[in-house]
Structure formats: C-alpha cells, structure tokens
Amino acid sequence: MTPKNPRVFLDTSVIFAAVLSPTGGARKLFLLGEAGLLQLVVGPTVLNECQDVVQRKAPASLPTLAQLLASASLETSQSPTKKQINAAEAYVQYAPDAHVLAEAILAKPDWFVTHDKEHFLKHRSRIDLSFEIGTPGDVLQRYKDEFIQP
C-alpha cells in the first residue's frame, strides 16, 4: 500500500524562505510538492502576507514567488470565521498568527510548517492539535525516515 502524501500547511515565513533560498529546506518542500509527494496547503491570509512581504523586502523576487506558487499545485484553505479565529487564540495569543493557525486548522494538515519561533515553535508542545508543528527541516527528516527506505 502506498502511503498517503502528507498535507503540509505552509506559514508565510516558510514561503518567504523558499523564495530567498533556492537550496534551503523550504524550497525542498516546494520541490516535493511539485513532484506530487507532498500536498502543500496555504491560507488566504498567508498568500496575501507573502505577496506583501516579498513586495516590501525583495520585490525583484516576485516572479520567483509566482513560479513557486504555480508549480507546487498549492491548495488554498478556507477563510476562518471569527469564532474559529477566537478558538485559535487559545493556542496563540498574537492575533495575526491566530488567524493563520485558524486557516491551518480548517485545512486539516498533517503538518503546520513555520520558522516562527516566538509564537509557534517555542510553544509547540503546548499546542495540542491534530497536526504537528515544525520547521521545513523537521518535515524533511520525517519524510526521509518514513517514506524513503534504504
């Protein structure tokens, strides 16, 4: 039996890292998504944040952002309701990140992938949800351990 492709919800920080670094772990997630080995998922807020951040910090990289988003067959989650955002605030008190977390919860991923140490990674053991929270490196290591056999 073929294992299912993991659903990986990407935070803005991961997409931005993929845009800036063609060899980093974030870009490798996009390559696995492009190959159909991961199902990459983003929320509408994440997409808007990505465009804003790239436009502000690395405008020459906007074509790279567009190419990555197009080639990886991204799925977009729904926008959360105010009630869903309020529920996410029980895990993350910073409102913008609670909004993103609510989008991730709606997407029902296997992983929420981020570089945000302050609001997610530092507290991941206390965020008890149906998915794991980690970095691109965490996902890649697990993918290697579970799906690539020696």
Residue 140 belongs to some domain of the structure: yes
Residue 137 belongs to some domain of the structure: yes
Residue 49 belongs to some domain of the structure: yes
Residue 106 belongs to some domain of the structure: yes
Q: Are 8 and 34 in contact (CB under 8 A)?
A: no
Residue-wise pLDDT for 54-87, tens only, equals 999 999 999 999 999 999 989 999 999 999 999 9
Residue 31 belongs to some domain of the structure: yes
State the CATH number of the domain containing residue 14: 3.40.50.1010
Looking at the 3D structure of the chain, how many domains does it have? Answer: 1
Beta-sheet strands, E only, within the chain: 7-10, 39-42, 75-76, 111-113, 132-134
Residue-wise pLDDT for 85-117, tens only, equals 999 999 988 999 999 999 999 999 999 999 988
Residue 1 belongs to some domain of the structure: no
- Domain range for 111: 7-145
**Model pLDDT, residue 87:** 93
Residue 2 belongs to some domain of the structure: no
Q: How confident is the model at residue 122 (pLDDT cuts 50, 70, 90)?
A: confident
60 token code pair: 């020459």
Residue 108 belongs to some domain of the structure: yes
